[in-house]
Amino acid sequence: MYNSGSQNATPAEKNPNRVSGGLRAQGQDSFMMLGEDGFDKEVPSQRYVKSLEDQVKKLREETQLTNRKLARQDTNVQRLSAIVDQLKNRPRG
């Protein structure tokens, strides 16, 4: 009755920065494992690696979007520059 439906975000909608930060804060970002040489090794957990991969994916998508916008703006600047050049070279009379 009072649930708005948006309270529980699916993992795809969660902010990957907060997910990895939460795992680090809870101490679930890695675990200790005894190596064959008898020494303890700290190994990252699968959930932590997945959250880092999600961060990288999100940053790549944002970078691609920004690059597309930049290319579009560059094209607009070139068009405007050509128009300005035409207006400068137009005979006055």
pLDDT tens by residue, 6-30: 555 555 577 766 667 776 666 766 7
Q: How confident is the model at residue 48 (pLDDT cuts 50, 70, 90)?
A: confident
Q: What is the dihedral of CA 11, 16, 20, 21, to 10 degrees?
A: -120
The closest of 66, 45, 58 to 16, measured between CA atoms, is 58
Q: How far apart are CA 7 and CA 1, in angstroms?
A: 13
Q: Is the pTM higher than 0.85?
A: no
Q: How far apart are CA 45 and CA 35, in angstroms?
A: 16
- Residue indicated by tokens 């997910």: 19
